[in-house]
Chain A
């Protein structure tokens, strides 16, 4: 790479220095010179569509958009003049008159709207043009967000975010002139869309109330909310969250733009599922009396537990946790080891092998974007690790990286794959194709999940690595291991035994007391447990204590249920798949009588 040349030029009489090739807007922003924008958004390709950032260049009769015009050495840029002000004002008035911008009843409401803000800045009190009052539809068919075309200014930020950040390119612009409109797929609704991943990046990027989160609509401006930054615990990626709260309620959850992991992007799990979903929270301890779970005090519940625990020998007691705990809770559990015979961490099938050799790849997400071939084996990032899937999609679509997928289940990444096969169906013919596809590849990345840990999966993985290593002269490819559990690797590293088949684990010794830490897993982690026949084993145990935040079939089977904290109430750290220690900050105080995991475990086993 050649060293970039420095250039200097004037903006509003101020001498500015910048790298050659920077746009006028970038330099102006870096020098704290305000230029109004609507369609410009950091991190997206400049579009030059809204014409608010127009500037004058001394000596030139033309006005140019600052966001797309590179700065030229020696020029004198004017960003504020009566001519520019009047042009910007006229542009804004045309935007206001074109669609139905009815601020008092906008779902976005007060303070967050870019169009409204620019109207204020430019002193617009009324519109000189007749209003068009077009009849435009509202699409609220998506589960978590809606699109109201009445508010749209066609800035194209959603289109670019969908294409460049999520890589889905669900949104685009159709028709010409006054009929211009943002559409979903082939002019369908969000519900009909086959490509929308519901990541909500379009909503975050929308400067008006066009795209809005249903759960946040009409709940006041985000500008007036408190913001807390914490970490998502839904998968091992560990995305930074920016949580907006008001009066001890979550108003919205966006990605933390300063997080080195996700850089502001989220998937549907972190963005919506954790808070916009109706889930029945357990608020008080519950104790089974006369066959039914009934509300009880902590003292009562703990008494019941202690009595049952006393009746059981040490060898008859076990603790089963889900891999969603913080590192600190793991330490507490290790400290309690003397009081319980068996402590197990319930992981997905084949995941124990991943946990046995924790394989953190530093800066995996950044390195992945430089890869020229991505191989996914035994993992399903588009379902389980949405932000990683977005990176894979953009790398494949924008940078032309090759994509090879070896997985039994179909995913929405398949459409971009050069080779797509089931691990077990790999034959010599296919291997030839794989080798041909990988020929000449210089920076390959292998993303493997727990399903790659089956005997055949391991063979395939080894074979692939061998091909890649011979391709690039013995150099190992970038290996990215993914677990299903959010914090499995670190918890296993702390000394928790990874248990895949819980049934046999429970049956190994006669059991009288079982404590399950389900935490804030939506179904109590039951889906995985059901596969292993756990529910069937539970009625045989005298006392089953479930520590969970949400009601589920698992809590229905318990003798005592203890209310646990959820993601936004936890503190501590988790370790993501890159080996980063990420901090959890409590966003809200503990709801009801819920307590943090470690505190509950201490009071149960102390």
Chain B
């Protein structure tokens, strides 16, 4: 079984603290969003904030994201991750983000529970690959990818908290834009969101 212990909380960011340096306009909160094994629905739900995004970008800089063309993860205040960890590359990326952010948010059911990508966990990895690359009805030339540059699938797709410390989980498939808005505004106000019967959804 994979090591499931959480890594230590984020190390002190290497970046010089910007907040103290620029007194006139308060520094924007630096945000990175990451897309692991998920359907991008959580990012879509994030975009569903609609006009509230305009409000948000007054307070927030999105420095790294599937919708921002940056290759290397910068140091950020908040890391938001959609999707679960399915292969060694994603595990590596997630750990890198964890080491470069202060607050890590698991966004959506895949990141929190494994969810749909986790459905393959009931089968052996070999069976999954055979089904996908050899036995599928539409397959003409069957070959399980074995190029060394292709990331290697983990034995099981697992949620984020089994690899790194997660500071906030926002369940939902996907979480409502309202739920995302509530969580982000609470964090920006310096409070931890409180989950109750009213705003929790697993589906």
Residues of A within 8 A of B (CB): 96, 100, 102-106, 109-110, 116, 119-121, 123-128, 130-131, 133-136
Contact = CB atoms under 8 A, between A and B. Distances in A.
B21 interface: no
Contacts of A125: 112, 168-171, 195, 200
Given A100-B122, A126-B159, 10 more contacts: A102-B109, A104-B202, A104-B203, A120-B196, A120-B201, A120-B202, A125-B171, A126-B106, A126-B113, A133-B156
A221 B123 CA distance: 30
B158 A123 contact: no
Contacts of B115: 102, 104
Contacts of B171: 125-126
Interface string B66-110: 000000000000000000000000000000000000000010010
Given A102-B113, A103-B173, A126-B112, A133 B121 contact: yes
The interface centre, meaning the residue of A110, A119, A130 with most chain B CB atoms within 10 A of its CB, is A130
Interface string B184-202: 0000000000111100111
B202 A130 contact: no
Given A103-B109, A123-B194, A125-B200, A135 B122 contact: yes
A120 B203 contact: no
Contacts of B194: 123
Contacts of A109: 203
Nearest to B200: A120
B162 interface: yes
B200 A119 contact: yes
A426 B197 CA distance: 65
Given A103-B203, A104-B203, A130 B122 contact: no
Nearest to B114: A131
A128 B121 CA distance: 19
Interface in B115-171: 115-116, 118-119, 121-123, 156, 158-159, 161-162, 166, 168-171
B113 A127 contact: yes
B114 A135 contact: no
Contacts of B159: 126, 131
Nearest to B119: A102
A133 B170 CA distance: 21
B4 interface: yes
Given A125-B169, A125-B171, A127-B113, A103 B202 contact: yes
A82 to B, nearest CB: 15
Interface residues of B, number: 33
Contact of A123 (B109, B118, B195): B195
Contacts of B162: 130-131
Contact of B109 (A104, A119, A121): A104
A126 B169 CA distance: 6
B22 to A, nearest CB: 34
A102 B122 contact: no
B197 A120 contact: yes
A102 B166 CA distance: 20
A135 B123 contact: yes
A100 B106 CA distance: 19
Contacts of B119: 100, 102, 105
Contacts of A104: 109, 115-116, 173, 202-203
CB-CB nearest 3 A-B residue pairs: A133-B121, A104-B173, A126-B169
A341 to B, nearest CB: 63
Contacts of A135: 122-123
A133 B203 contact: no
Given A110-B203, A116-B202, A134-B122, A123 B114 contact: no
Nearest to B172: A104
24 contacts: A100-B122, A102-B109, A102-B118, A103-B173, A104-B115, A109-B203, A110-B203, A120-B197, A121-B197, A123-B196, A123-B200, A125-B169, A125-B170, A126-B106, A126-B112, A126-B159, A126-B169, A127-B161, A128-B161, A130-B4, A130-B162, A131-B114, A131-B158, A133-B156
A127 B159 CA distance: 10
B10 to A, nearest CB: 18
Nearest to B198: A120
Contacts of B161: 126-128
Contacts of A133: 114, 118, 121-122, 156
A131 B200 contact: no
A102 B159 CA distance: 13
Contacts of A127: 113, 161
A133 B162 CA distance: 13
Given A120-B200, A123-B194, A135-B122, A102 B116 contact: yes
A341 B9 CA distance: 92
A102 B118 CA distance: 9
A299 to B, nearest CB: 51
A412 to B, nearest CB: 35
A78 to B, nearest CB: 21
Nearest to A131: B114
Contacts of A126: 106, 112-113, 159, 161, 166, 169, 171
A133 B119 CA distance: 8
